Amino acid sequence: MPSNGQKPSARAIPQLERLPRPLYARAESLGAGSWTPRHRHDWVQFSYAISGVLGVYTADGSYFAPPQWGVWIPAGVEHEVLTSMQAEMRSLYVRREEASWAPEQCRVLEVTPLARELIKQFCLLPVDYSEGDSAEARLVAVLLDQLRALPEVGFSLPLPQHPRLLELCNELLEQPEQGQTLAQWAQHLNTSEKTLTRLFQRETGLSFRGWRQRMRLLSSLTALEAGQSVTEAALGCGYDSTSAYIAAFKGLFGFTPGELRL
């Protein structure tokens, strides 16, 4: 969730009219607060966090990649990338024609051990690696196959298009700790709880409770990265019980808040 304050460290966007090869790599060590302005390009992007947490923001929602996960960004989708703390990032750019199978929306994907090693090896190749029947081209082909098979995980936060519902979601994003009930929000929006429930499900694919829980857990990543204790992160994102926060965190991410910093 991008900060409304000043962003201290802008990242340069590669000035490429066309990728020099079917697959192009970019390795970066990012300082705290690194960001890119909103932009789009004519190729697919897969940004993978070796360490730190990446946040990718689009008009349709927010996508977060803790360490060992990555965000798939389709060609032509306007996006902004932000890291609140230091991060090691590897980005792969793929020509459209090499990823015709790619989904049309952003996805958060788990980077398998095999894909991780292939990415590491590919990043060592020169930009103008050999094509045709070469070991380098075969490595690229295997890596593309592995990217296609990466499993999706639920680290995205879809945003509604409905103006009043988007207003509600933005208020929750600004203050994740607030505890108004669905009934209270319905009254605030001058509608019924039943109507708001249906609207939330239709617009986001999640229940109000499910969306708010995911939003709170994702918002706590920044606090954990900044060195806050698990209890501080839990309270800051709206949990009254640290144990409940830890259980919910592990349910979403597959690891505990303490393990994020190991």
In the 3-class helix/strand/coil scheme, how is 197-235 assigned residue by residue? HHHHHHHHCCCHHHHHHHHHHHHHHHHHHCCCCHHHHHH
Cα dihedral 243/70/87/90 (nearest 10) = 160
Q: What is the pLDDT of residue 261?
A: 61
Domain ranges of the chain: 9-153, 159-261
Q: What are the CA-CA distances from residue 248 to residues 61, 252, 262 (Å)?
A: 21, 6, 19
Nearest in space to 2 (alpha carbons), one of 52, 49, 58? 58
Q: Does CATH place domain 159-261 in 1.10.10.60?
A: yes
220 Cβ contact list (under 8 Å, min separation 6): 233, 234, 236, 237, 245, 249, 257
pLDDT confidence bin for 5, thresholds 50/70/90: very low
Dump pLDDT digits (tens) for 191-235. Answer: 999 999 999 999 999 999 999 999 999 989 888 877 899 999 999
CATH superfamily, domain at 9-153 = Regulatory protein AraC (2.60.120.280)
Could you give the CA distance from residue 77 to residue 38 in angstroms, rounded to a whole number? Answer: 10
Given a cut of 60, whether residue 12 has pLDDT beyond it is yes
Burial of 181 (0-12, 13-18, 19+ CB in 10 A): exposed
Q: What is the pLDDT of residue 49?
A: 81
Enter the tokens of residue 86: 């230091």
pLDDT confidence bin for 111, thresholds 50/70/90: very high
239 Cβ contact list (under 8 Å, min separation 6): 216, 245, 248
Q: What is the pLDDT of residue 7?
A: 46
Q: Distance of alpha carbon 222 from its chain centroid, rounded?
A: 13
Residue listed under structure tokens 């989904």: 103
236 SS3 class: helix
Given a cut of 80, whether residue 6 has pLDDT beyond it is no
- The listed range with the strongest mean pLDDT (4-8, 112-116, 160-164, 171-175) is 112-116
What DSSP string describes 52-81?
A: S-EEEEETTEEEEE-TTEEEEE-TT--BEE
Nearest in space to 93 (alpha carbons), one of 25, 41, 21? 25
DSSP-derived pairing of the beta strands 43-51 and 23-30: unpaired
What DSSP string describes 148-190?
A: HHPPEES-EEE--SSHHHHHHHHHHHH-TT----HHHHHHHTT
Q: What is the pLDDT of residue 3?
A: 45
Q: What is the pLDDT of residue 223?
A: 86
Starting from the edge strand earliest in sequence, which strands make up the sheet with 107-110, in order?
23-30, 87-95, 43-51, 69-73, 107-110, 152-153
